[in-house]
Chain A
Amino acid sequence: MNPMNKKRERDEHLEQLWYMKEEGTDSMDVLKTNMEQGYDAAIIDELVSEGLVELKHQGNTITLTKKGRDSARQLIRAHRLAERLLHDVLGGDYESGACEFEHTVNPELVDSICILLGHPRTCPHGMPIPEGRCCRQSSRTAQSSVIPLVELEVAQSARVAYINCKSDQQLHKMDSLCIRPGAVVTLHQRYPTYVIECEGSNIAMDEEIVSNICVWREPQNFQPSEADTPGRKGRSYRRRGKFRHGKRGRS
């Protein structure tokens, strides 16, 4: 087995154990079923000897150790960020792409992507993306290209990059109103409640939903009066203190 494949298989096991942790199970049987043909007892032994996983109850339950959790967390973070990037932002097909990604990148690159995307909190499937150091420091050294819709000025338009969404229902409802990655939205009003325009219809929504919609910072060409004069770019996107992005509560 070549070393790259080996690393890949180890990673897959660690990721699967993280999924199981999220689902609240530690049964060996579940791991075996979930991994299907990919399950490899030799790899489990190796992980145990490196102190990444722990077997209990005569090998019937399996859990990640602290060290194991840290490794798995890095992998999951990279995987889910990649999904966000490929699926919503670049508009590609993530079914195949993202699976390979986490095995080849280093944490610095992952953090850069995270900053670029404005520290997304969920992957396109709605699963949480583990926080990185950059999120905790709400690093602004590299400018995010994606900002929450609440940070737009009234009457500004932007293209939706992705939607942070907890509930399937909410996502479906937004989708049926055409609020989806790639759609152009215009913020019309903030008070007493937010009103945005999307595909010709006006939609009223509360602040929580608006702050879950993330849009591309770059001005689009359809607003010639506002956009594309280099000197103004920074100004027209100036931040409102209240919604400063790094301060959003993240657990």
Chain B
Amino acid sequence: VGDKGKSKKDDNSSSSRPVKRIAIIGLPNTGKSQVFNNLTGEYTLVANYPLTTVEMKRSRCEIGGQICEVIDTPGLHCLYIHSEEELIVRDMIFKEAPDVIIQCIDANQLKQSLTLTADLLELGIPLVISLNAIDETARRGVLIDSDGLSRILGVPVVESVTADGLSTKLLKDAIGRASRGNWSLRYGEIIDEGISAIVSELPEKMSFKKKAAILLLLSDPFLADYLEAEYGEEKVAQLKGLVSRIRRRFRGNFGSAINKKRSQWIAQIAESTTKKHKIAPGEFSKVFGRMSRHPIFGLPILVFFLVTTYLLVTHVAGFLDSILSAALLDPTVEYITELLPSGFWNEFLVGDYGILTLGLFNAIVTILPILSVFFLMFGFLEDIGYIPNLCVLTKRIFEKIGLTGKAIMPLVLGFGCKTMATLTTRGLRSKKEKFIAVYLIAFALPCSAQMGIDIAIFGRIGFKAFMIGYGALLIIELCAGLALNKIIKGEEKSFFLQELPAIRIPSPKAIAKKTGYRLYWFLKEAIPIFIIAAVVLFLFDKTGVLDLTKTLMSPIVEGWLGLPRDIVDVLILAIARHEAAAGLTLKMVDTGALNYIQCIVTVVITTMFVPCFANVVAMCKQMGVKTGLAMAAAINTSSFILAGILNWILVFTIGR
């Protein structure tokens, strides 16, 4: 709250080029990141589900001839805080006091959003409203009078179809007209007097005193902690005394009293600005949404998506791979072999561990086609809003493994990116649930990139292998969950209350763009790692270290896991980057170095073995360095044990 914002403002007035801070704020899944992308010309990941953005993102750009710092934020329901992500946003608002706030409202959820609007108006920061997805409401027969809304609230309201980015110019113009709006809601005599009494007791230099006073009346725990840290226990004790005196006078719950006054205000606004036309509600998207979480129809739909993905990745990516090989890999290898017939340089460039064959071309020729096809499919599923429905289907299963409430969504999101999913566990209050969730996300859950590659490998040997491999991973994950649930003590249960996004027909352009960026990020991050890993393996091989390692590991690798000793190369590459390991696995499958069972065991062990580096960092961030590393170690050990067990089961059931 305090002086930080103030001092920054002073800096601004003295410097010749003031930076205007613009915060983009709104409910979860209302298109904040899309507005951010449109305003700044950058790209952050957008998808049709809550929790896509878990961290604050900032970027500078010029709007109306002024340098602006635009801040993208995780979703916020209201300034009374429910979760840690929300706390970051509120802290940012209170500490930095942005000059303008853009509130993103999903036109489908006008009423829900107006609660936050009320909070923001109460703060008194100039506000602009970006009314997103207005095209969808129009299709549903709901018309929103945005001019009327603007008149009532006293702030500019920009209608926008964010996915097209057409209204960016309008929004930029509106930022200049941002206004504090009309806010005249009174909560009743006792509360209003109480608010002014607290305001006069709050420290002089604090900003947003009125809002802080209301939050104190609602006994917001985070704010009391903050005040204690900033202004000392004495002040807080004094304020708490005042609050309890007011509470006694009121003899009631401020929460319901304040909420009720606000819902009246909201209902009035919503009523006067929305018009409904009768349109039959049974449109495709609604039916599809319901089907996809239905206990009977939901499963076939899930299987349909899995099989489609399997077929696309296997056939389309395989086809692309062969084209690229013919056009790129084969001629280069031939050319180099002609130029440098055998010897050190030939091996260094195009040998078994060559930087071109195992490094660059592995990434471009083998992995890139797989990921492009898979990410297209995954992006499609993300943008129609299918993924959160999985948490309805899987709720009962998660309950069995000790995950009751808020932990379900992070685990479902783990199929996208395990690192992001681990970060979303920040919101979990129960230590037990957090531990189980973080562990299970890192363990036998394949992230989207891993899944794409796994599918490609299984594609080489048949759909049955895919079912066996993923069945094994599922069983392992469930058993791990059951075991952790038994071992870890703690009875706290969090409640489960999860909004499900509306199913939308996605724009192909948006999916293509998202896939493009994902591939670009992959290439940028992974190619150097691929090349370095190749160089390291090459050096290990030349110096004999590799051979020694293989001999040392052979009882485990050959004896227990039943894999050829060369799989050590794959395991070493997996430490660097899972995709690199997969490239080599694919090659081994193609050359016949791995048989049916070995192939399944390899995929299962590489899916579990060494969660990627970013994921380990995220684990340490959530659980503390010690616990995070211990978890990673436990995961690695158990991946060897379990993959071995799987090997022996397969050997005895299918035969060698």
- Chain A: residues with CB nearer than 8 A to chain B? 34, 87, 94-95, 124-126, 167-178, 180, 182, 188-189, 191-193, 195, 199-206, 208-209
Please determine whether A175 and B497 come into contact, CB atoms closer than 8 angstroms.
no
Instruction: Kindly list chain B residues whose C-beta atoms are within 8 Å of the C-beta of A182.
Output: 263, 267
Chain A residues positioned under 8 Å from B112 (CB to CB):
176-178, 199, 201
Judge whether B115 is part of the interface by a CB distance below 8 angstroms: yes
CB distance from A55 to the nearest CB of B (A): 23
Contacting pair B109 A191 (CB below 8 A): no
B289–A202 contact, CB under 8 A? yes
Whether B252 lies near A94 (C-beta < 8 A) is yes
5 closest A-B pairs by CB: A125-B253, A193-B395, A176-B77, A206-B496, A202-B500
Cα A180 to Cα B262 in complex, Å, equals 12
Given contacts A175-B115, A192-B394, A209-B495, contact A204 B263 (CB under 8 A): no
Contacts of A95 in B (CB 8 A): 188, 190, 250, 252, 257
Task: Decide if B498 touches A176 in the complex (CB within 8 Å).
Answer: no
The docked-state distance in angstroms from the alpha carbon of A173 to that of B406 is 13
Minimum CB–CB distance from B478 to chain A (whole Å) comes to 15
Nearest to A206 among chain B residues (CB) is B496
**Nearest CB to that of B296 among chain A residues?**
A191
B478-503, CB < 8 A from A: 495-500, 502
CA distance A109 to B440 in the complex (A): 55
B322 to chain A, nearest CB (A): 43
Least Cβ–Cβ distance between B69 and chain A, in angstroms:
28
Distance in Å: Cβ of A234 to nearest Cβ of chain B: 27
Q: Which residue of A lies closest to B405 (CB)?
A: A206
Q: Once the chains bind, are A199 and B255 in contact (CB under 8 Å)?
A: no
Task: List the A side residues contacting B108 at CB < 8 Å.
Answer: 200-201
CB of B392 closer than 8 Å to a CB of A: yes
Contact present for A203 and B502 (CB under 8 Å):
no
Residue among B82, B250, B405, B497 with the highest chain A CB neighbour number at 10 A: B497
27 A-B residue pairings within 8 Å (CB atoms): A95-B188, A95-B250, A95-B252, A95-B257, A124-B253, A124-B256, A125-B253, A172-B255, A173-B497, A175-B259, A175-B263, A176-B82, A176-B112, A176-B116, A192-B393, A192-B395, A193-B392, A199-B111, A200-B108, A200-B502, A201-B109, A201-B112, A201-B500, A204-B496, A204-B497, A204-B499, A209-B495
Chain B interface residues toward A at CB < 8 A: 27, 77-78, 80, 82, 108-109, 111-112, 115-116, 188, 190, 218-219, 248, 250, 252-253, 255-257, 259-260, 263, 267, 289-290, 293-295, 391-396, 404-405, 495-500, 502
A180 to B255, CA, bound (A): 13
Inter-chain contacts of B295 with A (CB < 8 A): 189, 191-192
**Interface contacts beyond A34-B248, A182-B263, A188-B290: sample of 4 additional A-B pairs, CB < 8 Å, sorted by A:** A189-B290, A193-B395, A201-B112, A206-B404
Measured CA separation A167–B219 after assembly (Å) = 12
CA–CA, A195 and B298, complex, Å: 14
Nearest Cβ distance between residue A123 and chain B, in whole angstroms?
Answer: 9
- A189–B294 CB distance below 8 A: yes
Say whether B109 contacts A205, CB under 8 Å. Answer: no
Chain A residue with Cβ nearest B109: A201
Would B257 and A195 count as touching, CB distance under 8 A?
no
Q: Which residues of A contact B257 (CB under 8 A)?
A: 95
Task: Name which residue of chain B comes closest to A155, CB basis.
Answer: B290
Partner of B495, one of A168, A170, A199: A170
Smallest beta-carbon distance B608→chain A, Å? 27
Q: How far is the CA of A175 from the CA of B82 in the complex (A)?
A: 12
Among residues of A, the one whose C-beta sits closest to the C-beta of B498 is: A204
Question: Nearest B residue to A199 by beta-carbon distance?
Answer: B111
CB distance from A185 to the nearest CB of B (A): 13
Taken together as a complex, chains A and B put the C-alpha atoms of A188 and B77 apart, in Å, by: 24
Residues of A within 8 A of B77 (CB): 172-173, 176-177
Distance in Å: Cβ of B86 to nearest Cβ of chain A:
10
CA–CA, A180 to B263, complex, Å? 9
Residue among B111, B267, B395, B502 making CB contact with A204, cutoff 8 Å = B395
Does B256 lie within 8 Å of A87, measured CB to CB? Answer: yes
Give the residue name and chain of the A residue nearest to B115 (CB). A176
Give the docked Cα–Cα distance between A182 and B498 (Å): 21
Q: Assuming the A-B contacts A177-B112, A189-B392, A192-B396, are A205 and B255 also in contact, with contact meaning beta carbons closer than 8 angstroms in the complex? A: no
On chain B, the residues within 8 Å of A175 by CB distance are: 115, 259, 263
In the bound complex, residues from chain A placing their C-beta under 8 Å from that of B267 are 182
Q: How far is the CB of B225 from chain A (nearest CB, A)?
A: 16
Shortest distance in angstroms between A184's beta carbon and chain B's nearest beta carbon?
Answer: 12
Interface centre among B219, B253, B396 (most CB of A within 10 A): B253
| Given A173-B77, A178-B112, A199-B111, A125:B502 Cβ within 8 A | no
Q: In whole angstroms, what is the CA distance A209 to B493 when docked? A: 12
Contact for A170 among B218, B293, B393, B497, CB less than 8 A: B497
Contact A125-B263, Cβ < 8 Å, known A192-B295, A206-B405, A209-B496:
no
Residues of chain A within 8 A (CB-CB) of B255 are 168, 171-172
User: A200 CA to B255 CA in the complex, in Å?
Assistant: 24
- Contact between A202 and B499 (Cβ–Cβ < 8 Å)? yes
Which residue from chain B places its CB closest to the CB of A124 in the assembled complex? Answer: B256
Give B77's nearest chain A residue, CB to CB: A176
Which residues of chain A come closer than 8 Å to B115, judged between CB atoms? 175-176
B392 and A204 contact, CB distance less than 8 A: yes
Question: A171 contacts B393, CB within 8 Å?
Answer: no
The CA-CA distance from A180 to B266 in the complex, in Å, is: 12
Chain B residues positioned under 8 Å from A174 (CB to CB)? 497
Residue of B115, B252, B259, B405 with most chain A CB atoms under a 10 A cut-off: B252
> What A residues does B391 contact at CB under 8 A?
204
B346 to chain A, nearest CB (A): 59
Min C-beta distance of B393 to chain A, whole Å: 6
A203, B498: Cβ atoms under 8 Å? yes
> Shortest Cβ distance from A118 into chain B, in angstroms?
19
Q: B109 near A172 (CB under 8 angstroms)?
A: no
